[in-house]
Amino acid sequence: MQRNSTEATADFEQAMNINIFPTKEKANAAAADCLARWLTSPGTRNLMVAGGNTPLDLYQTIADLRLSLGHLNVFALDEYVGVPLAEPRNCANLLRQHVAEAWRVPAEQFFPVSSLATTALASGRTQERLIMENGGLDVIILGLGQNGHLGFNEPGSSPESTARILDLDAISIAANRKWFAGKFAPHQGVTVGLKTIIAARRVLVLAYGDHKTSAVKIMVEGPVSNRCPASFMQVHPETHLFLDPAAAAGLKSHIAQAPESRVTDRVAAPMGGKSN
């Protein structure tokens, strides 16, 4: 399915919480501290998690804390279409191992998305239905694509978009090929829509390295536009962005030179979801 490429722009006051740390390791430690508080706070039940390499250290840090997280429903954000179900590095198996099992979440409370072309779309739609039936997302963990995508919501995605299969940009296909060490290079992905992501009560985004510099700058300082889906998070007051200096290098100097940012822990009602 082709995404809608109609541009939509608007001017809004910046609401994101930007947290820059001297190293990726310190950023991950701060992100883990923030996430641990969120996951154990009263009312937190529905969590959405992203696959890929960026959040793996964060997931391991949470596992090492041995928190009591058996109350969580864990939903996968997206999946590579056309990759075998048994492939260890597809999102379902990666998240089952590094989140659900590592955090001791009951197997029946982990909800993956299918990678099979014949069932992927129905699986994504079921994911969104289950989230809605359970009151919306309390927390979502995201990486940031080099082209500004969230999940597989590629440039051109509407903030009202729902679960669907998308044709991926060349830069995303190249990243997929690298992730699978050349074994697979998926050209399509299935993802929950931006509408579900934006409605989450709390949002944690990780971006590290100079290959994310441009995407971070557009996400934070660019116009709110479907040319950079991540820019829609500018208006979400409980989006917490964790960066290292390389990823933050393109930001305005008074932000990028901050040696360390304090992580806030405000309690907010979801945008379009349930109240706490």
Catalytic residue numbers? 78, 147, 149, 154
Provide CB contacts within 8 A for 190, sequence distance 6+.
78, 79, 81, 113, 114, 115, 120, 121, 123, 124, 152, 163, 164, 165, 166
In this structure, the strands spanning 73-76 and 110-111 are parallel
Tokens of 128: 């969104």
CB 47 within 8 A of CB 39: yes
CB 149 within 8 A of CB 143: no
Task: State the DSSP string of 176-225.
Answer: HHHHTTTS---SEEEE--HHHHHT-SEEEEEE-SGGGHHHHHHHHHS-EE
- How far is the C-alpha of 210 from the C-alpha of 213, rounded, in Å? 5
